[in-house]
A and B are shown apart, each in its own frame.
Chain A
Amino acid sequence: MIHLRLERRSATPAWLNLLLPLLALAAALILCSGLVALAGADVLDAYAQLFLTPFSTGFDLEQTAIKAAPLVLTGLAVAIAFRARFWNIGGEGQLYAGAVAAAFLGTQLWLPIGLIWPAMILAGALAGAVWALLPAYLRTRFKVDDVVTTLLLNFILLYGISALLDGPWKNPRSAYPTSPPIRADAEFPILPGTEQLHLGVVVALLAVPILWFILNRTTFGFAVKAVGENARAAAYAGISTARTILATAALSGALAGLAGAGEVGGVHYQVMADLSPGYGYTGIVIAMLARLNPLGVLPAAIFYAAMITGAEGMSRATGVPVFLADVIQGVSLLTMLAALLFTQYRLRIAGSHPGMARHA
């Protein structure tokens, strides 16, 4: 009799690490093609609209890049947090915290021009860090589950912002609830030779190698991985779990906060309730697809940025609802998660020695 069985791997081959995300994405697209067909559209046509048009013209390319910037940052935020098993699902809230702080400084007239961009960026990072430290503190001090608190804090912050935009911080010149716009000279500079690529995109690009360095070449990075992989062993090695979790949370929140600062300084120039189309949540999908590796976050973020950019055009051209992009996000997260099984196990066709596989 032939048995297919899963057998534990001792090591993961390098090619598999690259192949898995591609396999997971392919599986997700194949699964979702049924929905495209259901909507009465040609599958290849719709996917071409979704994934090729975002790269077709210079304008689209820049659109994709400025959407990738916040996704890189929220993806990094989740990657570092999950490495330490701090389940930060609050990237969305931390992004908004950063946006509010950056916008507040951006409207201040007393700030000298030379200082205003760094001040906005720093304030964004700081606000995100503070908003992430709250659930981390609740976890380390009171053992409150971080998944739930980070999620609930998203709602709390968004209601808070909504109240601000309706009342004390309302832009009097706008019918729609928005904050006052930042000073014209606080708007982030645009890279020479481009029309939309702003300082925030540079920040996001720089964050990738920096985070890789922190995670792989510093004692803090070692502590993060040690706490995530085996907290008890880390404690024996003299690494404080609580302190590591708090520091990781601060860094994670700061990255998400930077994304918010970039959106305010480089794209919207003000805060409104729909500043982010769920960048914080998409960051989770990106981090998983990147296998929590900072270098993998960049291509994954570009992929999802393209999909977000392409979804509107696809919907207009083919009639497939834009929400196909949301379904693909969810499905690809699940297929990637399932694909990760192949890093730990391999399929073994056990013919004559079923007992061998069992003890492998």
Chain B
Amino acid sequence: MHDLLAQLLQVGFFAALIRIATPLIFATLGELLAERSGVLNLGVEGIMLFSAMTGFTATYYSGSLWTGVAAAAATGAIMGLLMGLLTVTLGLSQHVSGLGVTMLCSGFAFFFYRLIFGEPSQPPSIQPFRALPIPGLSDIPFIGPVLFNQFALSYLAFAAVLLAALVLAHTPWGLSLRTVGENPRAADAAGVNVAAIRYQALLLSGALMGIGGAYLSIAQYNAFTFGVISGRGWVAIALVVFGQWQPWRSALGALLFAFIDALQLRLQASGLIHVPYQVFLMLPFVLTIVAMALVSRNARAPAALLIPFRREER
């Protein structure tokens, strides 16, 4: 047991935790923005998958990782707009629209990957992102290698949380977004264009989810595989509830989830505990459900979540 603790408290463990949390933070933040505007974006799992594929493909052919990130963000943004067309303009069921977008995006990801790369015995790979140590800060003992020797996208994820928290709380646009999610009728009366705000939120939401997907295929791994997302998008939806629709709390939820995931990787590698590896893979999902059961009673979702807004109907 002592060995185990010693292994856990190593720098590598905490650095891995940040790496695992990064895509979840992007996806959770994207989901949060959509939900705060009143739209549940169940497209998240599929958007991440499709973006992971387009991000990888763009990198493969351009040789530039940032082109890949941009392609993934654009893919996500377009799918966010599709979500807007379905739920905002047409006012369709958000549940079914989101599932449809996920199915469509998963189909697209597999279809285009097979069309472009065929069925090679070795999946094509790229040179993925390398850690970007921040001069000065990365030399601080312990904290340096954990926090300041990460992928550029990880820094970006935390910057995005900070930015989202500030924008939501302190800018006119953030206020409009929150009002649209709580009381669209009042927002409309105050001269806010409800549909436009929701579209903007979904566009941003999709782009963030897209970057989260691309992180997996061009930073954490160096190839696109069909199971690359494997439920992370659904977890992001749960993390938003867990974080009570607050950016920092949701990011904290992502870190907690990553902690459990990193722990299972360590325990598996250590060989000190003989439990099937699937139990560890399952554990974060079980704990997510338990956490939701504990939190949901007091959770207060945006009041207008799931309700389409039709201006002419009162």
Identify the A interface with B (CB < 8 A): 35, 38-39, 87, 89, 138, 142-145, 147-149, 151-153, 155-156, 159-160, 162-163, 166-167, 281, 284-285, 288, 321-331, 333-334, 337-338, 340-341, 358
B292 within 8 A of A: yes
List 4 additional contacts besides A155-B231, A321-B111, A333-B104; criterion CB under 8 Å: A87-B95, A148-B234, A166-B276, A285-B103
The residues of B that contact A340 with a CB separation of less than 8 Å are 92
Q: Which residue of A lies closest to B108 (CB)?
A: A327
Q: Which residue of A lies closest to B226 (CB)?
A: A323
Contact indicator A288/B96 (Cβ below 8 Å): yes
Q: How far in angstroms is the closest Cβ of chain B from A101?
A: 19
The residues of B that contact A329 with a CB separation of less than 8 Å are 103, 107
Contact indicator B289/A149 (Cβ below 8 Å): yes
From B100, B237, B297, contact of A330 by CB (8 A): B100
Complex Cα gap A159–B227 (Å): 13
Contact indicator A35/B104 (Cβ below 8 Å): no
From B86, B102, B285, contact of A152 by CB (8 A): B285
Contact indicator A323/B111 (Cβ below 8 Å): yes
Q: How far in angstroms is the closest Cβ of chain A from B200?
A: 22
Contact indicator B111/A284 (Cβ below 8 Å): no
The residues of B that contact A321 with a CB separation of less than 8 Å are 110-111, 114-115
Contact indicator B101/A144 (Cβ below 8 Å): no
Complex Cα gap A340–B234 (Å): 27
Q: How far in angstroms is the closest Cβ of chain A from B2?
A: 28
Contact indicator B104/A327 (Cβ below 8 Å): yes
Q: Please indicate which of the listed interface residues A149, A159, A166 has the most CB atoms of chain B within 10 Å of its own CB.
A: A159
Q: Known contacts A159-B281, A166-B276, A338-B90; is A144 also within 8 Å of B114 by CB?
A: no
The residues of B that contact A148 with a CB separation of less than 8 Å are 234, 237-238, 241, 292
The residues of A that contact B237 with a CB separation of less than 8 Å are 147-148
Contact indicator B95/A338 (Cβ below 8 Å): no
Complex Cα gap A221–B286 (Å): 33
B140 within 8 A of A: no
From B96, B100, B238, B293, contact of A142 by CB (8 A): B293
The residues of B that contact A337 with a CB separation of less than 8 Å are 86, 92-93, 96-97, 100
The residues of B that contact A153 with a CB separation of less than 8 Å are 285, 289
Instruction: Digitize B266-291: 1 where CB-to-A-CB distance is under 8 Å, 0 elsewhere.
Output: 00000000001111011001101100
The residues of B that contact A162 with a CB separation of less than 8 Å are 278
Complex Cα gap A162–B86 (Å): 37
The residues of A that contact B289 with a CB separation of less than 8 Å are 138, 144, 149, 152-153, 156
Q: How far in angstroms is the closest Cβ of chain A from B43?
A: 10
Contact indicator A166/B241 (Cβ below 8 Å): no
Contact indicator B95/A326 (Cβ below 8 Å): no
Complex Cα gap A146–B108 (Å): 27
Q: How far in angstroms is the closest Cβ of chain B from A256?
A: 16
Q: Which residue of B lies closest to A138 (CB)?
A: B293
The residues of B that contact A138 with a CB separation of less than 8 Å are 289, 292-293
Q: How far in angstroms is the closest Cβ of chain A from B75?
A: 15
A–B complex contacts, Cβ < 8 Å, 15 sampled: A138-B292, A144-B293, A145-B292, A151-B231, A152-B238, A156-B282, A163-B282, A284-B99, A321-B111, A321-B115, A323-B110, A323-B114, A324-B107, A329-B107, A337-B92
Instruction: Digitize B227-238: 1 where CB-to-A-CB distance is under 8 Å, 0 elsewhere.
Output: 000110011011
Q: Known contacts A147-B42, A148-B237; is A326 also within 8 Å of B278 by CB?
A: no
Q: How far in angstroms is the closest Cβ of chain A from B280?
A: 9
Q: Name the 3 nearest CB pairs between A and B, nearest first.
A: A330-B104, A330-B103, A326-B107
Contact indicator B241/A145 (Cβ below 8 Å): yes
B127 within 8 A of A: no
From A89, A288, A334, contact of B101 by CB (8 A): A334
Complex Cα gap A281–B285 (Å): 19
Complex Cα gap A325–B106 (Å): 11
Contact indicator A331/B97 (Cβ below 8 Å): no
B10 within 8 A of A: no
Q: Known contacts A138-B293, A142-B297, A143-B297; is A327 also within 8 Å of B111 by CB?
A: yes
Contact indicator A156/B292 (Cβ below 8 Å): no
Complex Cα gap A167–B277 (Å): 11
Contact indicator B282/A160 (Cβ below 8 Å): yes
Instruction: Digitize B284-306: 1 where CB-to-A-CB distance is under 8 Å, 0 elsewhere.
Output: 01101100110011010000000
B3 within 8 A of A: no
Contact indicator B231/A152 (Cβ below 8 Å): yes
B24 within 8 A of A: no
Complex Cα gap A167–B278 (Å): 11
Complex Cα gap A138–B111 (Å): 37
Q: How far in angstroms is the closest Cβ of chain A from B254?
A: 15
Contact indicator B115/A39 (Cβ below 8 Å): yes
Contact indicator B92/A341 (Cβ below 8 Å): yes
From A156, A323, A324, A333, contact of B285 by CB (8 A): A156
Q: How far in angstroms is the closest Cβ of chain A from B314?
A: 11
Q: Which residue of B lies closest to A146 (CB)?
A: B95
Contact indicator A38/B115 (Cβ below 8 Å): yes
Q: Which residue of B lies closest to A332 (CB)?
A: B100
Q: Which residue of A lies closest to B109 (CB)?
A: A323
Q: Which residue of B lies closest to A157 (CB)?
A: B282
Q: Please indicate which of the listed interface residues B96, B103, B110 has the most CB atoms of chain A within 10 Å of its own CB.
A: B103
B105 within 8 A of A: yes
Complex Cα gap A341–B310 (Å): 13
Q: Please indicate which of the listed interface residues A145, A153, A288 has the most CB atoms of chain B within 10 Å of its own CB.
A: A145
Contact indicator B276/A167 (Cβ below 8 Å): yes
Q: How far in angstroms is the closest Cβ of chain B from A213?
A: 26
Q: Known contacts A145-B241, A151-B234; is A326 also within 8 Å of B296 by CB?
A: no
The residues of A that contact B102 with a CB separation of less than 8 Å are 330
From B110, B235, B296, contact of A144 by CB (8 A): B296
The residues of A that contact B104 with a CB separation of less than 8 Å are 327, 330-331, 333-334
The residues of A that contact B282 with a CB separation of less than 8 Å are 155-156, 159-160, 163
Contact indicator B111/A324 (Cβ below 8 Å): yes
The residues of A that contact B90 with a CB separation of less than 8 Å are 338, 341
Instruction: Digitize B41-55: 1 where CB-to-A-CB distance is under 8 Å, 0 elsewhere.
Output: 010001000000000
The residues of A that contact B99 with a CB separation of less than 8 Å are 89, 284, 333
